[in-house]
Chain A
Amino acid sequence: KNQVEQSPQSLIILEGKNCTLQCNYTVSPFSNLRWYKQDTGRGPVSLTIMTFSENTKSNGRYTATLDADTKQSSLHITASQLSDSASYICVVSDRGSTLGRLYFGRGTQLTVWP
Chain B
Amino acid sequence: EADIYQTPRYLVIGTGKKITLECSQTMGHDKMYWYQQDPGMELHLIHYSYGVNSTEKGDLSSESTVSRIRTEHFPLTLESARPSHTSQYLCASSPRAGGLYGELFFGEGSRLTVL
* Interface residue ranges, A against B (CB under 8 Å): 4, 9, 31, 34, 36, 41-46, 49, 89, 91, 93, 98-102, 104-107
Count residues of B near A (Cβ-Cβ below 8 Å). 19
Which of these, A34, A41, A102, A106, contacts B45 with CB under 8 Å?
A: A102
Number of A-B contacts (CB under 8 A): 49
Which of these, A42, A100, A104, A106, contacts B108 with CB under 8 Å?
A: A42
B27: min CB distance to chain A, Å: 14
Which residues of the other chain, B, contact A102 by a CB distance below 8 angstroms?
45, 101, 104
Give B6-54 interface residues, CB cut-off 8 Å to A: 40-45
Does the CB pair B41–A106 fall under 8 Å?
A: yes
* Interface residue ranges, B against A (CB under 8 Å): 2, 4, 40-45, 90, 92, 99-101, 103-104, 106-109
The interface residues of chain B, by DSSP majority, are classed as: loop
Which of these, A31, A43, A91, A104, contacts B99 with CB under 8 Å?
A: A31
Q: Complex formed: what's the CA distance from A43 to B108 in Å?
A: 4
Does the CB pair B43–A49 fall under 8 Å?
A: no
A105-B42, A106-B42 known; A43 vs B100 contact (CB < 8 Å): no
B68: min CB distance to chain A, Å: 17
A92: min CB distance to chain B, Å: 10
